[in-house]
Amino acid sequence: MRGAHAYLVESGPTSPAHDAFVEKKSEFIGDACHVDSLEDALAFVETVRERHPKARHVAYAAIVTGDDGRVMERMSDDGEPSGTAGKPILDVLRANELTDCVIAVTRYFGGILLGSGGLIRAYSTGASIAVKAADVAQIVVCARYAVPLDYSQLGPMRHLVEVMGAVEESADFSDHVVLIVLVRDDARESFEHRVREQFSATVTPEYVGRCHRAMR
């Protein structure tokens, strides 16, 4: 199972959260993005390398949670002394309770050695500023509902979904409309009550199961 407090970075590989700083003439560039697998994480790191062909190091760490709840981690120092780059980045991911996320920290060497302590602080900072630059959403347990509607009810239903902070996952249009709506699991009773009240019991949401969803 995912933790009670798990979060993910909403930025994708094509527009990662990004920031940079300079430490003793070395530039450190942090990039963070959402990924669905460790393979996606490695692919993202390769795109970072391609953007920075003259960089000395591109260290990274990634955490991904599978559908079975198994947490998978990967990291690399990319030539920096063992434990001074990938591990500090991984520690930032853990401290922020992030999952399904990769952070790459690129270093352009400035000619001054930082020592083990300096490297750990620098890579940790590079990861932290990338997270701070990111839009982060909490992963919550949601109830999924199928809501059959007449076309005249679609507008009011969508307004109710918005007001309750729920999410319209999909819509099927035929002779009537079926909305698939995600509601925070702890708001199920309130949602069902509001729908009955709004539509005078002419609309009955059908509960179809739970899922995990990033929600603000």
Domains of the chain are 6-134 (3.30.230.30), 140-215 (3.30.70.240)
Q: What is the pLDDT along the chain (216 residues), one digit of tens a residue?
A: 344 457 767 677 778 899 999 999 999 999 999 998 999 999 999 999 999 999 999 999 999 987 677 889 999 999 999 999 999 999 999 999 998 899 999 999 999 999 999 999 999 999 999 999 998 887 788 899 999 999 999 999 999 999 999 999 999 999 999 999 999 999 999 999 999 999 999 999 999 998 777 766
Provide the residue count of the chain. Answer: 216
Helix (H, G, I), strand (E, B) or coil at 35: coil
Bridge partners, residue 20, by sequence: 29
Predicted TM-score of the model (pTM): 0.71
Terminal-residue alpha carbon distance, the chain: 20
Residue with the two structure tokens 């591109």: 58
